[in-house]
Amino acid sequence: MARVIALIKANPAATSVAAGLFVLAMLVAILIGLPPPFMIALYVVFVVVAWRIYRWRMRGHDPRPATAPGGILATSTAVAFVIVALAAQAVPYGRSHSNPAITGEPQWANAETRALMVRACFDCHSNEVEWPWYSNVAPLSWAVTKHVDDGRNKVNYSEFDQPQRDADKSLEEVENGSMPPPYYTFGGVHSDAKLTPAEMTTLLEGLAATPGLSE
pLDDT of residue 1: 46
Give 3-33 pLDDT, tens digit per residue. 445 555 556 666 777 777 788 888 877 777 7
Sequence-ordered list of residues with C-beta below 8 angstroms from that of 106, at least 6 positions apart, any chain: 157, 160, 167, 210, 211, 212, 213
Of the listed ranges 14-28, 103-117, 135-149, the least confidently predicted one is 14-28
Domain boundaries, the chain: 2-88, 111-208
Average pLDDT over residues 92-114: 93
Average pLDDT over residues 196-214: 93
Q: Of 206, 184, 28, 32, whose CA–CA distance to 108 is shortest? A: 206
pLDDT of residue 25: 80
Of the listed ranges 6-10, 114-118, 146-150, 202-206, the least confidently predicted one is 6-10
**pLDDT band per the 50, 70, 90 thresholds, residue 119:** very high
**pLDDT band per the 50, 70, 90 thresholds, residue 163:** very high
Q: CB of 72 within 8 A of CB of 54?
A: yes
Distance of CA 37 to the CA centre of its chain: 11
pLDDT of residue 166: 92
pLDDT of residue 113: 96
Q: Please state the φ and ψ torsions of residue 59, each to the nearest 5 degrees.
A: -60, 125
pLDDT of residue 114: 96
Q: Please state the φ and ψ torsions of residue 128, each to the nearest 5 degrees.
A: -125, 40
| Cα(185)–Cα(53) distance, integer angstroms | 38
pTM metric for this prediction:
0.77
pLDDT of residue 4: 46
